[in-house]
Amino acid sequence: MRFVVLLFGLIATLVTAALGTAFFMDSTALTWLHDQKIDQLDILFNSVDPNLARTGLFLFIAAGYCFLGTLLAFFRCGWQGGLLMIVTVVGPAVLNPITLLGTGPQIFTAILSCFVRPLPIVPVPQED
């Protein structure tokens, strides 16, 4: 289970960082998409925060914490890693709710990492 969380966590980190790059470069990538007359992207440009670079910065921070949470889950601290991944999704979602579509793999990985448990404590046999 730890290796599954590691695989999904690394993928979620890359997806979140790529989404952060797209938001951070709002003057190039997103303007090009807007110029293509795609009507479905109007919700992106009518977001809560008009400065999309700020949302991109929060997504970069979320990607870093997703990587840290993935490592915590891999080293058998599943609840702590999952909580770290879930909490960092809230910031970009408050600024621009459309980011929840891109941070979906991070939320899924956080739920998976909650199933990773530490090793049971085995008492050491004592010699008489």
pLDDT at 11 over 90: yes
Helical H segments across 1-128, by residue range: 2-24, 31-35, 42-45, 52-74, 78-95, 99-102, 104-113
**In this predicted model, what pLDDT tens digit does every residue of 81-100 receive, in sequence order?**
999 999 999 989 888 888 88
pTM of the model: 0.79
**In this predicted model, what pLDDT tens digit does every residue of 119-128 receive, in sequence order?**
888 888 888 6
**In this predicted model, what pLDDT tens digit does every residue of 33-81 receive, in sequence order?**
666 665 555 555 556 666 778 888 999 999 999 999 999 999 988 889 9
